Structure 1
C-alpha cells in the first residue's frame, strides 16, 4: 500500500490557517472564554449561588428532561426518515427533503408562534379539543418538547443520510437473501454502519436542544418553576442584575454540550483504531 506524502506547508497555507484560527478565536473561543472568566470571578461563588437557587435548579432539570425527550423523538423519527429518503423512491421525495431543512432557515420565534396557533387553548386549531380532553400543550412541557424537537429535527437526519448513501444496499440485500428479516437486517447490518453518524446527530441535537430560546419562550409562557428553561433563566437573571447567576447558568449549559462533543470526539478514534 503506497504511503501518502504530506503536501508542503507554504506561506499561503500558514496565512489561511492563521486567519481561520483568528476567526474562530474571535467568534467562538474569546466570547465563551469571557463567560467562563465571569463565572469564576471571585472563585466559585457564582456557581455555588446558581446551584443553590431553586429557580435555576428547576429550570436546569426541565431543560434536561425536554432535551432528552426531543433527542429521543428525533432519534427514532430521524432514523426512519433517513431510511425513507435513501432507500425508497416516492413522489414528493425532494419536497420532503427540503422541508426537513426548514427548521434551519426559519426563525425559532416563527416556529413558536406557529405552534401557539396550532395548539393554543383558545385560538389554536387543536387547542380547544386537547383542553377538553384534559391535555394542555401550550404553556406546558409538551409544547416545549415540540418546539425543541422541531428545531433539532434536521440534525440526526443530515448526519445519517450521507452515510446510508455511501454504504449502499449490498450488505442489506445479502442479509435478506440469507433469510434475515427487516428488523434483523437493520439491527445487525444497518445500525452498526450508521452508529457514529447517529451518535454525532444525537450529540448535536442534545447540544442544540439545551440552548434553544426563541421558540421555547413563545410556547412556554416562561412560568417560573414550571415552564422556565435554563436559557430563559439566563435572560431573567441578567435583566434582574444577577449577572453572576446568569453567567454560571450559561457556563453549565455550555459545559454539558461541550463535554458531550469532546467525549464523542475522543471515543471515535479509539473505535476506528480497533478496526470495528
Structure 2
C-alpha cells in the first residue's frame, strides 16, 4: 500500500514542479517586472499611442476572429456529428491541420494567395480596391485559421455525448430546425461553446507568427500587441514590453476565471 501512495505523491510533486517551472515562474517574472516601479510602467504603456493602437487592433482582430470561429465552428460541428456524407473523415482531419502546421507557414500561404503583387487572388482583389495582405482583413484571416479547431474540438464531443434523441423528439412535435437548435441543441452544448470561445479568444490574443507575416508589422497600423512586445523588447524598452505582455496574459486569465466562476458546479460539459 505504501508504494502506490508514494508513487502518487511523487507524480503530484513532479507535475507541480513542472507547471511551476514552465508556466507559473515565467509568468510571475513578467508580473514582477511589470510592477517593479508600481503602476508607473502600466500608466506609461496606456499613454503610449503606439501601444494603445496595438491593443485596440489586437482586440478588434481577436473579437472578429472569435465571432467567425464561433459561427463556423458550431456549424461544422453539427455537420460532422449530425450528418453522414462522403469525405466526412477527411474534413475532420483537415480541421486539425491548423494545430499541426506552423503559424508562420499559414502566414506564408496567405501571402502567396492574397499578395497584391503576384498572388493568386491578390491582384484581382487589388483591382477592386480590396487589400488583404498588410491590412486588417489578412490579420483576421490568419487568426481565424490558427484558432479554427478550438471551438470545434470542444463542441463535437459534447454533441456526440448528448445524442440526437431530443432533437428528433422536438422535430416530431412540429419544431423547425431553428427552434430545435435554439431550444434543444444550443442549451445542451452551451458550456462547450463557451469554453471553445474562451480558448479561441486566448489563442487569438496571443497569435504572433502568422500575423507577423501577413501584417508587415507596420507601426501604428498593422502592429498587434504581440508584435509590439517583440519590437519594444528588442529596442531596449523592456518596461513597455513587460506591461503589454502582462495585459495580454491578464486578459486570458480573466476570461478563464470568469468562466470558472459562472459555470454551474453540476455541469460536466
State whether TM-score is above 0.5. Answer: yes
Runs of 4+ in 1 over 6 A off after TM superposition: none
Aligned position for 2:186: 191
Q: Does 1:138 align with 2:124?
A: no
CA distance in 2, matches of 1:25, 1:91: 46
2:147 is paired with a residue whose SS is helix
* 1:4 corresponds to: none
Mapped partners of 1:222, 1:112: distance in 2: 13
CA distance in 2: counterparts of 1:225 and 1:184, whole angstroms:
45
Q: How does 1:44-83 map to 2 (within 5 A)?
A: 44-83=39-78
Match of residue 90 from structure 2: 95
Partner of 2:221: helix, strand, or coil?
coil
- State whether structure 2 residue 235 is matched by structure 1 residue 240: yes
**How many residue pairs get matched?**
267
- Other-structure match for 2:145: 150
TM-score normalised by length of structure 1: 0.94
In structure 1, the partner of 2:169 is 174
**CA offsets per residue over residues 6-54 of structure 1, 9 Å max, x none?**
xxx8222111111111110100000011000010112112111111100
**2-structure distance, mates of 1:145, 1:206:** 12
User: 2:87 and 2:9 mapped to 1: Cα distance?
Assistant: 46
- 2:263 partner SS: helix
Deviation track 1:210-234 (CA, whole Å, cap 9, x = no partner) reads: 0000000000011111110000000
Q: Counterparts of 1:118 and 1:165 in 2: how far apart (Å)?
A: 36
Aligned ranges 1:10-21 → 2 under 5 Å: 10-21=5-16
Instruction: Compute the TM-score of the two structures, normalised by the length of structure 2.
Output: 0.97
TM-align CA RMSD: 1.5
Match of 1:91, SS?
A: coil
Q: Secondary structure at the match of 2:124?
A: helix
Matched, 1:213 2:199: no
Structure 1 unaligned residues grouped into runs of 5+: 1-8
CA–CA distance in 2 between the matches of 1:265 and 1:15? Answer: 28
In structure 2, what is the Cα distance between the partners aligned to 1:113 and 1:41? 39
